[in-house]
A = this chain, B = another copy of it.
Amino acid sequence: MDNVEHKGISNAVIKRLPRYHRYLGELLESGVERISSNDLSAKMNVTASQIRQDLNNFGGFGQQGYGYNVEFLYNEIAKILGIDHQNNMIVIGGGNFGQVLTNYANFESRGFIIRAVFDVSPERIGKSIRNVPILDMKELEDFLGKNSIDIGVLTVPKEAAQEAADRLIACGIRAIWNFAHLDLAVPEDVVVENVHLSESLMQLSYRISEKRKKS
C-alpha cells in the first residue's frame, strides 16, 4: 500500500474511514476472518457499492466473490489513517476538558499517547492526570525541544488559543486538535481538526426544528 497514491480523496470518504476501521475492529474481535461487501454493507448501513467505491480510492483490497480479509483490511485502513504507529500528543489546558481527554484511555489503545499537559495555574502545575504530568506552560518550548510530539491538543479558553497555537507551531508542531471555540489562523502546512461542541449542538437543534416543521 505504501506506493499507492491517494490524492484528492474527498472529505466524505476520509470521514467514513474511521468508521470502517471501527466496524472491522469489532468483526476482528468477534473472530470474523472474511466479510463480503454486502454483509459489511448491511452491518454499517452503507450501500455495498459505496463501500467498494470508498475502498477503491486506496487500491481496492477485495477479491470478486471472495470478500474482504478482515484483518488485512483493518490493518491497511490503520496505515491509511496513520494509526499503524504511535502518535505523541500534548494537551494545552489542564481544565475540565483537558483532564477528561487525558483520562480517556481509548485514545491510547489507538496509539495516541498524551505525553504531558500544560497549564498556567499554580494549583494544577506539578500534579498529574493518570501519570501524565501537568507542566508549566512556560516550559512548553523546552519540552518540545526535547520530545518528539506529533499533535497539540488545545483545550484552553478561546482568548488564549491562538497564542498557544502560535507557540506550538513555532516549535514545529504541524497538527492541532482544536477544542477552543474559534477558527485558528495557521500556516498552510499545519493541519487543524476542530471539535466545536456548541456547533455540533446547534446542528442538532437545526435538525430538530426542521423535523418539527415537517410534522
In the docked arrangement, what's the CA distance between A74 and B193, Å? Answer: 26
Given A18-B202, A100-B97, are A208 and B196 neighbors across the interface (CB < 8 Å)? no
A82 at the interface (CB under 8 A from B): yes
* Minimum distance in angstroms from A162 CB to a CB of chain B: 14
- List of B residues within 8 angstroms of A42 by Cβ: none
CB pair A100–B96 under 8 Å, yes or no, is yes
A200 at the interface (CB under 8 A from B): yes
CB pair A83–B202 under 8 Å, yes or no, is yes
A189 at the interface (CB under 8 A from B): yes
Interface residues of A in 167-215 (CB under 8 A from B): 174-175, 177, 181, 183, 189, 191, 193, 195-211, 215
Give the number of times this chain occurs in the complex, counting copies: 2
- List of B residues within 8 angstroms of A99 by Cβ: 96, 100
Q: Which of A6, A103, A150, A202 has the most CB of B within 10 A?
A: A202
Say which size band chain A's interface belongs to. 35 or more
Given A18-B198, A21-B202, A200-B195, are A208 and B100 neighbors across the interface (CB < 8 Å)? no
- List of B residues within 8 angstroms of A44 by Cβ: 183
A22 at the interface (CB under 8 A from B): yes
CB pair B199–A80 under 8 Å, yes or no, is no
A45 at the interface (CB under 8 A from B): yes
B-contacting 9-mer, from A30-38, A106-114, A117-125, A140-148: A106-114
- List of B residues within 8 angstroms of A193 by Cβ: 200-201, 203-204, 207
Chain A interfacial positions (CB closer than 8 Å to B): 6, 14-15, 17-19, 21-22, 44-45, 80-83, 87, 96-97, 99-101, 103-104, 106-107, 110, 112, 150-151, 174-175, 177, 181, 183, 189, 191, 193, 195-211, 215
Known: A15-B199, A82-B208, A112-B205. 4 other contacts (CB 8 A): A18-B203, A87-B208, A110-B202, A193-B201
